[in-house]
Amino acid sequence: MTMMKAAVFVAPGRIELVDKPIPPVGPNDALVRITTTTICGTDVHILKGEYPVAPGLTIGHEPVGIIEKLGSNVQGYQEGQRVIAGAICPSFNSYASQDGLSSQDGGCTCHGYKPMGGWRFGNTIDGTQAEYVLVPDAQANLAPVPDGLSDEQVLMCPDIMSTGFAGAEAANIKIGDIVAVFAQGPIGLCATAGAKLRGASMIIAIDGVNERLQIARQLGADVTLNFREVDVVDEILKLTGGRGVDAAIEALGTQTTFESALRVLKPGGTLSSLGVYSSDLVIPLGAFHAGLGDNKIVTSLCPGGKERMRRLLNVVASGRVDLGLLVTHEYKLEQIVEAYDLFGHQRDGVLKVAIKPF
């Protein structure tokens, strides 16, 4: 068998299933047979042509699968083992990753800066919406799935959970903090779960969809606010006695959510931004206290690597949080165009879709 099915970007508006050669396995690679993958909001931006990738690139960056073939240098794993790998799939060779930032592994040496971080799967190399994916730097990236966990239970680890939890970690939430989480899509829901695990005493979840707010409660939100029904900033200031929240996590990437997050911060509070923005942000003087608020604004991109994945898998295995409930729909890989249509239009209460190649 030399060919496989893969969902590739063709042109704006077109992601199609095509036949592609199964890639050869280099000494540091692993070939993983995908058992479950999923579609991310970023993939929809790629589909619409809002985030450019090379035509013919296989899309997808959230793999759960089985090691089919290991490169000769890759130690400590076996063929046939169930594994995941993080969405970014860092090489750990860049200055940024050597400095502890596994996601900023872009490897650009000329200017030392790449705005899109170091994201590789389905961005700069073939991704996971296929029968097989080649994992580069496999020894740094493969994480075995603990026995007894389903694909759905661990499907959020490579991206959504790592990103959402990173938002709570970057906010440096202390036990007893009050935290607001703006937007309760999959990443915002994971940020809510992360805030709970970090010991927040009150988590205020904000969204415009009541079903999502319901799930936010299941994952740890104490108060939910529908921005279509209330003035969110007023409500949060009331809930905190005018004091503001210790941390506000932004999980959408819009001016409104960013600005609201800034407006509800206490003096000295932290705005932890997870959204991917597609236009310039404006920081109003009032919301910014003219620069005198002692506030911190921090951003995070999905941390990767096998140790990050091991920790996230342990969170799932320990039963601390159940993110399987974010998987609302299942499709075969052959139906991926249909799955994009449902997910892209956010129909039928979809949060995440499980895509099964086999």
Instruction: Pick between residue 127 and residue 357 the one whose CB is nearest to Zn ion.
Output: 127
**Which residue ranges make up the site for Zn ion (CB under 5 A)?**
40, 42, 159
Q: How far apart are CA 117 and CA 35, in angstroms?
A: 27
CA distance linking residue 248 with residue 270, whole number of Å:
6
In the complex, least distance from residue 42 CB atom to Zn ion, rounded to whole angstroms: 4
CB of 302: closest distance to Zn ion in angstroms? 7
What's the closest the beta carbon of residue 284 comes to Zn ion, in angstroms? Answer: 30
Using the minimum distance from each CB to Zn ion, give the nearer residue, 42 or 128.
Answer: 42
Query: Smaller CB distance to Zn ion: residue 90 or 244?
Result: 90
- Alpha helices of the chain — where are they, by DSSP H? 41-48, 95-98, 138-141, 151-154, 162-170, 186-197, 210-218, 232-239, 255-263, 306-317, 336-344
In the 8-state DSSP scheme, what is residue 129? Answer: S
**Cα–Cα dist 42/318, whole Å:** 29
Q: CB-wise, 236 or 326, nearer to Zn ion?
A: 326
CB of 281 to Zn ion, least distance (A): 21
Structural tokens at position 326: 């974010």
Write the DSSP symbol of residue 357.
-
Separation between Cα atoms, residue 202 and residue 239, nearest integer Å: 10
Residue 224 or 273: the one with the smaller Cβ distance to Zn ion is 273
Per the CB < 8 A criterion, the answer to whether 28 and 73 are in contact is yes
Q: Which residue has the tokens 């904000």?
A: 206
Least distance (Å) between residue 122 CB and Zn ion: 8
Q: Which residues pair with 313 in a beta bridge?
A: none
Nearer to Zn ion, 40 or 157 (CB): 40
Bridge partners of 152? none
Residue nearest to Zn ion (CB): 40
Q: What's the closest the beta carbon of residue 163 comes to Zn ion, in angstroms?
A: 7
